[in-house]
Amino acid sequence: MTRIFSGIKPTGHLTLGNYLGAVRQWADVDQHRAESLFSVVDLHALTVDHDPGRVRRLSRQAATLLLASGIDPERATLFVQSHVDEHARLSYLLECVATDGEMRRMIQYKEKSALERARGGSVRLSLLTYPVLMAADILAYGADEVPVGDDQVQHVELTRDLAVRFNQRYGHTFVVPRATYPKVAARVMDLQDPSSKMGKSGDAGAGIVYLLDEPEVVRKKIMRAVTDGGSEVEYDREAKPGVSNLLEILAACEGGNPEGLSGVYETYGALKKDTADAVVEVLRPVQEKHKELVADPAYVEEVLRRGAERARGMSRPMVDTAYRAIGLLPPV
Ligand code: TYM
């Protein structure tokens, strides 16, 4: 059976981008067709300036929101990355396979390190090695597929390279995984700046819809979205990035495709109104379920406890095999 691994990092509140680009796919499709593991990858949240209490709160919230989005703990394994030691154990081995040049070429590293330096801060070494830890997350489980938004393409490519290199040098050990993307909304853009990704670590701006935003807030953000020159409502990501982003969001919410919505609307206002309504409807059940789950923290904890136990059992043999293959003496 196909095995799937994916993760989300608790660096901010979950956004509509996370939901449409990844989480909804995990809940509605992936967990029904494959053996699935989904992780709140909290170690990754420590690669930039962080507040310990906030990371803890956001980790709990992310796990709760994944359940609220429909991840079913009877079908999929849901766990917190730091509860399973194998990720860090394997990450070190992969650091011995990856090169520093490879790491420095990663787009997200270049962008985030430049931002950090521009703020006058220093860049954590873990920001540079982040993609290796991500590769370890995936390879530790022998995952065949990694469902992600398209900002993760380069990281999954690196994961493949490391798996192939390790296998060539030390004997076949790892499955070489491939990324999968949703057909629509693989890259939801910021509503105020459609040239940049809607990201949870972006400023708390008006351009980001959060999963837990109240309906009125969602409506306001979408109605105020930046649109483009002209007045035709057409899907053209180059010429009409703002409108195309709204069409993409609307299509994703309705289960259609954005090209099919080209020419359907006469005004930007009508498109915005329908998009706002569609987003509010998509978020409603998630928010309702989230409210229920927040009232039952013991349930969420039990899911995470069982998830970590299962994940340990699945990753331990793979990581032990890699330790032996690379030349480390078995413990006596
Ligand atoms: P993260 O936490 O930034 O995002 C989680 C998932 O949401 C997708 N996503 C988006 N999709 C469409 N439009 C957007 N605006 C948008 N923003 C985010 C991301 O592509 C991702 O699928 N490095 C990963 C976390 C990670 C991981 C892993 C993922 C760590 N280990 C192993 C897969 C497998 C990240 O930062 O995702």
Q: Which residues pair with 210 in a beta bridge?
A: 15
Residue 11 assigned ligand-binding role: yes
ipTM here: 0.99
CA distance 50 to 140: 26
Q: What is the pLDDT of residues 49-72, one digit of tens each?
A: 999 999 999 999 999 999 999 999
Residues in contact with ligand 1 (CB, 6 Å cut-off)? 5-9, 17-18, 21-22, 41, 44, 134, 137-138, 146, 148-149, 151-152, 155, 185-188, 197-199
85 is in an annotated binding site: no
Distance separating alpha carbons of residues 190 and 245, to the nearest angstrom: 8
Give the dihedral of Cα atoms 29, 31, 35, 41; nearest 10 deg. Answer: 110
CA diameter of the chain? 74
Residues 242/258, Cβ–Cβ less than 8 Å? no
Residue minimizing CA distance to atom 29 of ligand 1 = 7
193 labelled binding-site residue: no
| Predicted local distance difference test score (pLDDT) of residue 106 | 96
Alpha carbons 230 and 10: distance in angstroms, whole number: 39
Q: Ligand 1, atom 20: nearest CA belongs to which residue?
A: 149
Ligand 1 atom showing the smallest separation from residue 130 Cα: 23
pLDDT in tens, 82-135: 999 999 999 999 999 999 999 999 999 999 999 989 999 999 999 999 999 999
Place of tokens 């837990």: 212
110 is catalytic: no
For residues 14-20, average pLDDT:
97
Instruction: Using the atom order of ligand 1, give the atom closest to the CA of residue 10.
Output: 2
Q: How far is the CA of 166 from the centre of ligand 1 (A)?
A: 25
Mutate to test the pocket of ligand 1, among 11, 55, 150, 152 (most ligand atoms within 8 A of CB): 152
pLDDT > 90 in the chain, percent? 94
DSSP state of 75: T
Ligand 1 atom 36: residue of nearest CA: 9
| For the CA of 148, the nearest atom of ligand 1 | 22
Write the burial class of residue 110 (CB in 10 Å: 0-12 exposed, 13-18 middle, 19+ buried): exposed
Q: Is 197 a catalytic residue?
A: yes
**How far is residue 136's CA from residue 109's CA, in Å, rounded to a whole number?**
17
H or E stretch covering 179: strand 178-180
Angle at 300 between CA 284 and CA 217, to 5 degrees: 25
Q: What is the pLDDT of residue 286?
A: 98
Mutate-to-test residue for ligand 1 from 151, 187, 192, 211, highest number of ligand atoms within 8 A of CB = 151
Query: Residue 293 contacts by C-beta under 8 Å, 6 or more apart in sequence?
Result: 64, 67, 68, 299, 300
| Confidence grade of residue 318 (pLDDT, cut at 50, 70, 90) | very high
Look at residue 304 and give its three-state secondary structure.
helix
Average pLDDT of the chain?
A: 96
Q: Closest by alpha carbon to 163, among 249, 98, 215, 115?
A: 98
Give alpha helix (H) positions in 96-214: 100-104, 107-118, 125-139, 153-170
Q: Judge whether 146 and 181 are in contact, CB under 8 Å.
A: no
- pLDDT band of 200, cuts 50, 70, 90: confident
The answer, yes or no, to whether residue 180 has pLDDT greater than 90, is yes
How many residues are given for the chain?
332
**CA 161 vs CA 151, 152, 205, 220, 260: distances in Å:** 18, 14, 37, 44, 37
pTM, whole model, 2 decimals?
0.97
Q: What is the CA radius of gyration of the chain?
A: 20
Q: Which two structure tokens, joined as six digits, stand for 255? A: 């289960």
Q: Which domains does the chain have, with CATH numbers?
A: 3-181+297-325 (3.40.50.620), 215-291 (1.10.240.10)
Supply the pLDDT for residue 201: 66
